[in-house]
Structure 1
Amino acid sequence: MRMPQQGMVWAIAATSLACLAAALKPSQPPPKRRNPLVRTASDVAAGAVMPAVLLGVVGAAAAGAEDAEGAVGKVIPTRLARLLRDSRIAWRQFTAFEAVAGFVALAAADAKDSGRSLVQAGRALLEQWRRAGETLVESRDEGGHAIDLYAGGDSTRPLVVLVPGGGWCHGDDARLYRLLAARVAKRSRCEVAVAQYAPWPLGDGEDMVDAVAAALTWAERRRPGGVVAVGLSAGAHLVAAASTTRGARPAAAALCSGVFDLEEHYAHESRRGVHDVSALGAAYAGKMRAYSPVCGKTFADKVLLVHGAADLTAPLTSGADAVAAVHAAAPDVVFTRVDVEGGHLDYAMRAMRDDKAPFLDWVDDLVEGVAGEME
Structure 2
Amino acid sequence: MYLLHAQTDAEFNLPYSPARVLKINIIVLNHLFSWVVDLPIVLTYLYWRYWQLGTEKFRRIVSRDVVYSEASKECVLDIYHPDGKTKIPTKKRPTIVFIHGGSWSSGQKLIYTPMGNTLRELGYVVVIPDYRKYPAGHSAGAQLAAQVVLSDLLKKASLLSAKGNTDIHAHCLPQVEGLLLFAGVYNIETHYQHEAARGVEKISAMGRAMGATIENFRRNSPLELVKSHADLFATSEDLLDFAPRILFVHGEKDTTVPLQQSTDMYNMLGEVLPPERRDEVDIRMRLYKKLKHAHCVSALMPSKLGANRHCKPLIRDIMDFVEVPSLDEQA
Q: Same fold (TM over 0.5)?
A: yes
In structure 1, distance between residues paired with 2:329 and 2:251: 32
In structure 2, distance between residues paired with 1:301 and 1:133: 33
Conserved 8 A contact 1:165-1:236: yes
TM-score normalized by structure 2? 0.66
- 2:113 counterpart of 1:164: no
Tell me the equivalent position of 1:328: 270
Tell me the equivalent position of 2:256: 313
Q: Which amino acid aligns with 1:328?
A: G
Conserved 8 A contact 2:178-2:245: yes
In structure 2, distance between residues paired with 1:252 and 1:127: 33
What is the deviation of 1:146? 1.0
Tell me the equivalent position of 1:301: 244
- 2:175 counterpart of 1:245: no
Q: Cα distance 1:184–1:102, how it changes in 2: closer, same or farther (>3 A)?
A: farther
Structure 1 vs Structure 2: percent identity of aligned residues? 23
| Counterpart pick for 2:209 among 283, 290, 298 | 283
Conserved 8 A contact 2:186-2:222: yes
| Counterpart pick for 2:318 among 356, 360, 363 | 363
SS across alignment from 2:45: helix
Tell me the equivalent position of 2:237: none
Q: Cα distance 1:197–1:240, how it changes in 2: closer, same or farther (>3 A)?
A: same
After TM superposition, the structure 1 stretch with the greater mean CA deviation from structure 2, 242-251 or 158-167, is 242-251
**For residues 294-351 of structure 1, what are the alpha-carbon distances to aligned partners after superposition, in whole Å with 9 as ceiling and x for unaligned?**
132689532110111121110123x112211122133131111111123213132111
What is the deviation of 1:139? 3.3
SS across alignment from 1:140: strand
- 2:120 counterpart of 1:190: no
- 2:176 counterpart of 1:256: no
**For residues 70-112 of structure 1, what are the alpha-carbon distances to aligned partners after superposition, in whole Å with 9 as ceiling and x for unaligned?**
x99xxxxxxxxxxxxxxxxxxxxxxxxx7x976642344x7xx
After TM superposition, the structure 1 stretch with the greater mean CA deviation from structure 2, 277-286 or 295-304, is 295-304
Q: Which amino acid aligns with 1:334?
A: D
In structure 2, distance between residues paired with 1:162 and 1:272: 28
Q: Which amino acid aligns with 2:134?
A: W
**For residues 128-182 of structure 1, what are the alpha-carbon distances to aligned partners after superposition, in whole Å with 9 as ceiling and x for unaligned?**
24449432125332223112111125364111101100110111x1100000000
Q: Cα distance 1:164–1:370, how it changes in 2: closer, same or farther (>3 A)?
A: farther
SS across alignment from 2:148: helix
Tell me the equivalent position of 1:149: 79
- 2:50 counterpart of 1:126: no
Q: Which has the larger radius of gyration?
A: 2
Conserved 8 A contact 2:143-2:184: yes
What is the deviation of 1:123? 4.1
Q: Which amino acid aligns with 1:137?
A: S
User: Which structure's relative contact order is higher, taking Cα pairs within 8 Å and 6+ residues apart?
Assistant: 2
SS across alignment from 1:288: helix
Conserved 8 A contact 1:308-1:345: no
Q: Cα distance 1:346–1:325, how it changes in 2: closer, same or farther (>3 A)?
A: same
In structure 2, distance between residues paired with 1:269 and 1:167: 11
In structure 2, distance between residues paired with 1:137 and 1:257: 28
In structure 1, distance between residues paired with 2:78 and 2:191: 30
Q: Cα distance 1:304–1:33, how it changes in 2: closer, same or farther (>3 A)?
A: closer
SS across alignment from 1:170: coil
TM-score normalized by structure 1? 0.59
What 5-or-longer segments of structure 2 have no aligned partner? Answer: 1-6, 15-20, 84-89, 154-172, 227-232, 234-239
Total equivalences in the alignment: 252
Tell me the equivalent position of 1:211: none
Q: Cα distance 1:320–1:33, how it changes in 2: closer, same or farther (>3 A)?
A: closer
In structure 2, distance between residues paired with 1:348 and 1:250: 21
Conserved 8 A contact 1:236-1:255: yes
Conserved 8 A contact 1:256-1:345: no
| Counterpart pick for 1:265 among 191, 195, 199 | 191
**For residues 30-72 of structure 1, what are the alpha-carbon distances to aligned partners after superposition, in whole Å with 9 as ceiling and x for unaligned?**
xx967xxxx9xx99xx9xx9xxxxxx99x95xxxx5xx24x99
Q: How does 1:203-242 map to 2 (within 5 A)?
A: 232-242=138-148
Q: Which amino acid aligns with 1:125?
A: Y
Q: Which amino acid aligns with 2:207?
A: G
Q: Which amino acid aligns with 2:286?
A: V
SS across alignment from 1:365: helix
Q: Which amino acid aligns with 1:358?
A: P
What is the deviation of 1:280? 1.1
Q: Which amino acid aligns with 1:150?
A: Y
Q: Cα distance 1:142–1:280, how it changes in 2: closer, same or farther (>3 A)?
A: same
In structure 1, distance between residues paired with 2:327 and 2:113: 27
Conserved 8 A contact 1:107-1:125: no
What 5-or-longer segments of structure 1 have no aligned partner? Answer: 1-31, 50-55, 73-97, 111-121, 203-230
